[in-house]
Structure 1
């Protein structure tokens, strides 16, 4: 293959300066498309992270393909005018010089001329097709009636956002999914009629494509298996910010630890439909029921102005910033949320005139929060930030906009096909129209509230518009608002996403991820991965911790009594230990069933807060399974005990609940050393002092730690 010297790849390389990793991914993609037979049921896969440069990679792969025998490329985009336009504009931008030199032509299928001459048909041709009924019908007509010569040329079909309209089910009565099935069938028919074409799918959410057996039986039931013939990973660029920042680094000290801001379930419910009885104009700045949205709007303005002042200090032009609120898809709900957000803004402006001291107090509280998360060498003075924020409200720099239709999006797109930022601070309220594919620049706030009971992994993660290229300086003012329940689901999805990607990176995707579930006897047995509801998965990998978070204890007197009982149960465990010669009696190996009894007793002492849960049955089943992994003394668990602990109920910010009762240099480190092939349960006796937020009675905080040596398991609750 001509890797670097063809006119197409040379032109794009000069324009984009691809890295070695990017060029290798493009080379591997095109080489596989040439060497490996692909079909509508066995396509190639270009797998990237969300907003991680997948378009850049497949545009480069096209160039390399044109230099190596491909002559026609069909790009299938999601059923969105905005995304189709964005893809078309990007195509012309990337290939502008080659189009001007008549090396190639690029068309939107709905604008394809019906009188192309032989000269034009002999050029390299790219056609952008939206996955929508009329677009696909027009493509069928173009290939089979108007220009049948195109079918005889070497063709590459690129399915962008491949899981959308690629795998659908007969049993679903939803109108949109019914139409998607029709579109998928039409596309498959086109592909079958052009057997020499190469097929490439591009996505960041391949779960519906990978996690199903390649089976005629499933196909007969309405499934359309699309297990890839090969997978090439899109390299992640240096400025990329994804799930690791929001769900892993957020657990550690630093800017990421402030990114997640909890929202109550009550607030989310309140914002789903109009309720003027509960949302009074006079109380929008004080009611606890709107704490999340109020903080989101205020923090967005304050964070944006902090960054503007930092940019001015660096002699840079101040940037415009964006915020997205996505909780529900109905237009009525969007109008209600718009009205509430406008009320908050109006009341803040009114407060400047009527009680500026109160307004200043609100702004400086937000300022102090950002100061804690900043790592910048220059953090502006509070008086400068206050004046900038005050001016932003008085000069109406904040623009609150509803985006819930194709028309809304089309009016907001700039010439590059990206969402236009009209004002210095743009607060967008919308639904799915703002999801996958549409680029939204300088996003520093995201309020998310879709119902997790209906979550599917590909859909939810594609809603995560806060992923993508982010300047490091913007991260210190970035905030993510959602309920703990939704955050927990998204964290599980991120873990699953990362483990699946790791499986491909290590080349062991056929066997590294094991799927397990409960059976009727509450035991864990293998399960069929295509049956998993991905919002219910728990990914278990080496050294991973599982513990209750977000709870209060019972009364002081009850906790004293119950904790004494647990003390005795732990003492009795030593009778069953099989490492009696261990010098440290705080580390013992005991039968798993004895430990499960203690976990259930401890759980009786915990009162879970709204949106938080600790299903002791689930984690007991997991612990039981982990204790039976291959090795010596199966059915046993390491117990590590510690006493006299004084952890606060809340983290340093006073908002989020503490989630690290274990000491990484002591008992957690010990669990890694002892539990190489056995799980470990840390039993950490807390004093439960009232000045730490508890009720004055002692209690045990359990932490389950997976073995240090194990393959990844995906477990369905």
Structure 2
């Protein structure tokens, strides 16, 4: 039996047939095209994208096993610099990849003694000291240089990109990762993430832009962005006050608020789950990046629990619990009877069986690991992000409002996404501002996924976000290669050229002069393709890229086309738009608008008629592109 078959059988033995099929699809799509054809003389960078908490680890393990069947025998699996996550991944690899020699960070003797008798998998944190040590270890062996490395960088957008690119320098981790690749004559570097923004915005010359990209669909039962943050109002997402996170810690009383409501939701939903045989139910509270506030929130939750325990027999408490129960029943009609729920909550409070855990950089691994069983409330910040999986995470309270929000960071905080949730009982509490931001991120994520499914390489994938939201952190994008198109601004060439004016005439023959036609963006795309500039002041490539990404989200998306003919305007005039047309275009705020003036050509145009474009993208959006 080969390595891939062994791993697939392992999944089947655990009754994970759907996941096994999905992993096989990923293997069958990637291995023949990219791994079987590997040249053994180059360093290839690639990207595997999956939704947050959609089973990326299983797909990584499947590809590692399949690559071992193709002759690769040295694998490095990188995690973020998080001891909890590294331990979690290491233990899972030991359990799942039983045909491999799985090594941790301190297993150099084991690695060397194995001497490639089995394919070896190293599970390492992206810590500069750990990476440097293993770079030295690879260099000191007599079998690494002549064998290709297969490096899998889980959460590759975290820590791996060069954070000093705008200082004309290289950050330590990025430099060390590059050095590790060079300990071998060839390598495949597989970036893995659910948030590829920073990776897609890398330049080719940096050496980290993926050369091929693959997206795998989440399996059946996955709750993701479209479940929680589609355009329609979701009953599972409950708005809280925008300033509640700050006000909670300043109030010594026990007023009604979103945190208390979330706590009651968690108790009621947990009671149902435990009454039906569950061993665990988790509630994550993500209030702030500040470690100092985590314990304060934990203390506040403890106070709420004490208050509830003291008043559990009072009519007002019973009524409040019943209201919470009724809310959950709207999405979970078969929820256990209220009397059973109430009795379970009362007994649990009396026996003090609710665990309030704080997870942050100051908490130990043993303390962190206690959420695998029991009724838990977990409070933390950044440590609740990338890679950490909470089983049966049913309730989330998220009130962290960043001053300069980044799409990839926010999306990684989406711990509510995943499989092992009861969809009828899951609830997310967050301020309306954050609900809006998550919805906006979800739209662009869907656009990126649609583009990946059609793209030939990373150059074909573009993204856009509202002005108030950056795609990723500034320090990993090379500003000298970054192009940004800002919505609400008119773009036009001073010195336009038409590839074939007769073709443009033919396309526009159906349009007369009025206040604008609603047209499919595909038509605007075709017109822009036929217009250029003598002086390079018309960024056609970026305009087309934006339109392509916008269309990928919705192929039927509409724009506005405004056509004017017979204009006697001098060359180099500027926007060309008349006051009336300028006012007309300014009123179009939520769509792409393209205004086309056909000038007579008598004033500096060599006596030739020519079409001059003026394009404006939707207000409030910024489109990002890297050349």
TM-score, normalised with respect to structure 2: 0.73
Query: SS state of the match for residue 120, structure 2?
Result: strand
Query: SS state of the match for residue 481, structure 1?
Result: strand
Q: Does 1:384 align with 2:378?
A: no
CA distance, structure 2, for counterparts of residue 514 and residue 163 of structure 1: 16
> Which residue does the alignment assign to 1:30?
31
The one of 349, 352, 356 aligned to 2:312: 352
Contact 1:9 1:67 in 2 (8 A): yes
Structure 1 segment 297-336 matched on structure 2, within 5 A: 297-309=263-275, 311=276, 317-336=277-296
1:523: how far off? Answer: 2.7
Structure 1 segment 161-176 matched on structure 2, within 5 A: 161-170=155-164
Aligned pair in 2 of structure 1 residues 138, 518: CA closer, same or farther (>3 Å)?
Answer: closer
Aligned pair in 2 of structure 1 residues 406, 154: CA closer, same or farther (>3 Å)?
Answer: farther
Cα-to-partner distance string for 1:629-670 (whole Å, 9 max, x where unaligned)? 8999xxxxxxxxxxxxxxxxxxxxxxxxxxxxxxxxxxxxxx
Query: SS state of the match for residue 293, structure 2?
Result: helix
CA distance, structure 2, for counterparts of residue 449 and residue 538 of structure 1: 33
Query: SS state of the match for residue 228, structure 2?
Result: helix
1:302: how far off? Answer: 1.2
| More displaced stretch, 365-374 vs 392-401 | 392-401
1:491: how far off? Answer: 1.1
Contact 2:200 2:461 in 1 (8 A): no
Q: Does 1:492 align with 2:440?
A: yes
Q: Does 1:123 align with 2:118?
A: yes
Contact 2:47 2:192 in 1 (8 A): yes
1:495: how far off? Answer: 0.9
CA RMSD, 1 decimal: 3.6
Q: Does 1:363 align with 2:321?
A: yes
Q: Does 1:456 align with 2:438?
A: no
> Which residue does the alignment assign to 1:343?
303
Query: SS state of the match for residue 490, structure 1?
Result: helix
Query: SS state of the match for residue 429, structure 1?
Result: strand
Aligned pair in 2 of structure 1 residues 258, 39: CA closer, same or farther (>3 Å)?
Answer: farther
Aligned pair in 2 of structure 1 residues 293, 40: CA closer, same or farther (>3 Å)?
Answer: farther
The one of 377, 391, 407 aligned to 1:427: 377
The one of 142, 146, 152 aligned to 1:152: 146
Contact 1:73 1:155 in 2 (8 A): yes
CA distance, structure 2, for counterparts of residue 227 and residue 88 of structure 1: 27
The one of 184, 187, 198 aligned to 1:197: 187
Contact 1:214 1:227 in 2 (8 A): yes
Aligned pair in 2 of structure 1 residues 521, 437: CA closer, same or farther (>3 Å)?
Answer: closer
The one of 86, 90, 93 aligned to 1:91: 93
Q: Does 1:111 align with 2:113?
A: no
Aligned pair in 2 of structure 1 residues 79, 464: CA closer, same or farther (>3 Å)?
Answer: same
Query: SS state of the match for residue 260, structure 2?
Result: helix
Cα-to-partner distance string for 1:50-75 (whole Å, 9 max, x where unaligned)? 11111111111111111111111111
Flag structure 1 segments of 5+ consecutive residues without an equivalent. 1-5, 99-103, 216-223, 312-316, 414-418, 530-536, 547-590, 600-619, 633-703, 707-712
Query: SS state of the match for residue 113, structure 1?
Result: helix
CA distance, structure 1, for counterparts of residue 35 and residue 190 of structure 2: 8
Cα-to-partner distance string for 1:392-422 (whole Å, 9 max, x where unaligned)? 3223232212111364344332xxxxx6335
Aligned pair in 2 of structure 1 residues 541, 39: CA closer, same or farther (>3 Å)?
Answer: farther
> Which residue does the alignment assign to 1:567?
none
Flag structure 2 segments of 5+ consecutive residues without an equivalent. 13-18, 465-482, 493-538, 543-549, 560-579, 599-616
The one of 232, 243, 248 aligned to 2:230: 248
The one of 157, 174, 198 aligned to 1:184: 174
Aligned pair in 2 of structure 1 residues 64, 121: CA closer, same or farther (>3 Å)?
Answer: closer
CA distance, structure 1, for counterparts of residue 197 and residue 420 of structure 2: 26
Q: Does 1:395 align with 2:351?
A: yes
Structure 1 segment 508-547 matched on structure 2, within 5 A: 510-511=459-460, 513=462, 522-523=489-490, 541=554
CA distance, structure 2, for counterparts of residue 463 and residue 143 of structure 1: 35
1:226: how far off? Answer: 1.8
Structure 1 segment 620-639 matched on structure 2, within 5 A: 620-623=588-591, 626-628=592-594
CA distance, structure 1, for counterparts of residue 240 and residue 462 of structure 2: 33
Aligned pair in 2 of structure 1 residues 514, 199: CA closer, same or farther (>3 Å)?
Answer: closer
> Which residue does the alignment assign to 2:454?
506
Contact 1:212 1:227 in 2 (8 A): yes
> Which residue does the alignment assign to 2:424?
476
1:518: how far off? Answer: 6.0
Aligned pair in 2 of structure 1 residues 344, 172: CA closer, same or farther (>3 Å)?
Answer: farther
Aligned pair in 2 of structure 1 residues 528, 167: CA closer, same or farther (>3 Å)?
Answer: farther
> Which residue does the alignment assign to 1:637?
none
Structure 1 segment 690-709 matched on structure 2, within 5 A: none
Aligned pair in 2 of structure 1 residues 427, 523: CA closer, same or farther (>3 Å)?
Answer: same
1:48: how far off? Answer: 1.0
Aligned pair in 2 of structure 1 residues 622, 164: CA closer, same or farther (>3 Å)?
Answer: same
Structure 1 segment 6-21 matched on structure 2, within 5 A: 7-17=2-12, 19-21=20-22
Contact 1:262 1:481 in 2 (8 A): yes
> Which residue does the alignment assign to 1:50?
52
Cα-to-partner distance string for 1:606-633 (whole Å, 9 max, x where unaligned)? xxxxxxxxxxxxxx4443xx2328999x
CA distance, structure 2, for counterparts of residue 90 and residue 306 of structure 1: 30
Aligned pair in 2 of structure 1 residues 207, 518: CA closer, same or farther (>3 Å)?
Answer: closer
CA distance, structure 2, for counterparts of residue 69 and residue 631 of structure 1: 61
Give the paired residue count. Answer: 507
1:714: how far off? Answer: 6.4
Cα-to-partner distance string for 1:662-684 (whole Å, 9 max, x where unaligned)? xxxxxxxxxxxxxxxxxxxxxxx
CA distance, structure 1, for counterparts of residue 351 and residue 262 of structure 2: 20
Contact 1:33 1:199 in 2 (8 A): no
Contact 1:165 1:181 in 2 (8 A): no
Aligned pair in 2 of structure 1 residues 63, 522: CA closer, same or farther (>3 Å)?
Answer: closer
1:373: how far off? Answer: 2.0
Cα-to-partner distance string for 1:178-212 (whole Å, 9 max, x where unaligned)? 9x921111111121332312221111111111124
Q: Does 1:264 align with 2:241?
A: yes
| More displaced stretch, 8-17 vs 434-443 | 8-17
